[in-house]
Amino acid sequence: MKIESRLAQIGSIKEPVTGAVSFPVYQSTAFRHPRLGESTGFDYARTKSPTRTVLEEAAAELESGDAGFACSSGMAALTTVFSLFSQGDHLLVSLDLYGGTYRLLEKIMSRFGVTASYVDTNDIDGLSELCTPATKAILIETPTNPLMMITDIERVCAWAKSKGLLTIVDNTLLTPFFQRPIELGADIIVHSATKYLGGHNDVLAGLIVTKGAELSAQMAFLHNSLGAVLGPQDSWLLMRGMKTLALRMERHQANATAIANWLLKHEAIEDVYYPALPHHPGHDVQSRQSSGNTGIFSFRLKNAAYIEPILRHIKLIAFAESLGGVESLMTYPAVQTHADIPLEIRQKIGVDDRLLRFSVGIEHADDLIADLAQAFEAARRELGEA
CATH of the domain at 278: 3.90.1150.10
**Which range, of 64-68, 220-224, 264-268, 345-349, averages the lowest pLDDT?**
345-349
pLDDT-derived band at 378 (thresholds 50, 70, 90) equals: very high
pLDDT-derived band at 341 (thresholds 50, 70, 90) equals: confident
pLDDT of residue 16: 82
State how far Cα 147 lies from the chain centre: 14
What is the number of domains present in the chain?
2
Of 191, 209, 240, which residue constitutes the final position of a domain? 240
pLDDT at 258 over 90: yes
pLDDT of residue 138: 98
Nearest to 140 by CA among 84, 109, 177, 182: 182
pLDDT of residue 340: 76
pLDDT at 350 over 90: no
**pTM for the predicted model, two decimal places:** 0.96
pLDDT digits (tens, 9 = 90+) for 70-80: 999 999 999 99
pLDDT digits (tens, 9 = 90+) for 353-376: 999 999 999 999 999 999 999 999
What is the rounded average pLDDT of the residues 208-221? Answer: 98
pLDDT-derived band at 320 (thresholds 50, 70, 90) equals: very high
Of 216, 240, 264, which residue constitutes the final position of a domain? 240
What is the rounded average pLDDT of the residues 172-200? Answer: 98
pLDDT at 168 over 70: yes
pLDDT digits (tens, 9 = 90+) for 1-34: 999 999 999 999 888 888 899 999 999 999 999 9
Contacts of 205 (CB under 8 A, 6+ apart): 70, 71, 72, 73, 74, 192, 193, 194, 197, 198, 230, 234, 235, 238
Backbone angles phi, psi at 321, to 5 degrees: -80, 175
The residue ranges of DSSP E strands in 248-288, in sequence order, are 269-273
For residues 232 and 251, membership in a common domain is answered with no
pLDDT of residue 229: 98
For residues 218 and 259, membership in a common domain is answered with no
Q: 353 is in which domain, residue-wise?
A: 245-383
The residue among 331 and 335 whose pLDDT is bigger is 331
pLDDT of residue 186: 98
For residues 102 and 222, membership in a common domain is answered with yes
Chain mean pLDDT for the chain: 96
What is the rounded average pLDDT of the residues 48-66? Answer: 98
For residues 200 and 291, membership in a common domain is answered with no
For residues 193 and 303, membership in a common domain is answered with no
pLDDT at 157 over 80: yes
pLDDT at 342 over 90: no
Which CATH number do you get for residue 123?
A: 3.40.640.10
pLDDT at 256 over 90: yes
For residues 298 and 177, membership in a common domain is answered with no
Q: Are strands 90-94 and 135-141 parallel, antiparallel or unpaired?
A: parallel
For residues 276 and 165, membership in a common domain is answered with no
Type of residue found at 368: L
Q: Are strands 296-301 and 188-192 parallel, antiparallel or unpaired?
A: unpaired
For residues 57 and 173, membership in a common domain is answered with yes
Could you give the residue numbers annotated as active site?
A: 46, 98, 170, 195
Cβ(341)–Cβ(351) below 8 Å? yes
pLDDT-derived band at 386 (thresholds 50, 70, 90) equals: low
pLDDT at 273 over 70: yes
pLDDT at 177 over 90: yes
For residues 215 and 273, membership in a common domain is answered with no
For residues 341 and 371, membership in a common domain is answered with yes
pLDDT of residue 5: 97
What is the rounded average pLDDT of the residues 301-312? Answer: 96
Quick one: what percent of the chain has pLDDT higher than 70?
100
pLDDT of residue 334: 86
What is the rounded average pLDDT of the residues 294-317? Answer: 97
Of 187, 209, 240, which residue constitutes the final position of a domain? 240
For residues 286 and 345, membership in a common domain is answered with yes
The DSSP line for 290-312 is -SS--SEEEEEES-GGGHHHHHH
pLDDT at 337 over 80: no
Type of residue found at 247: L
For residues 175 and 287, membership in a common domain is answered with no
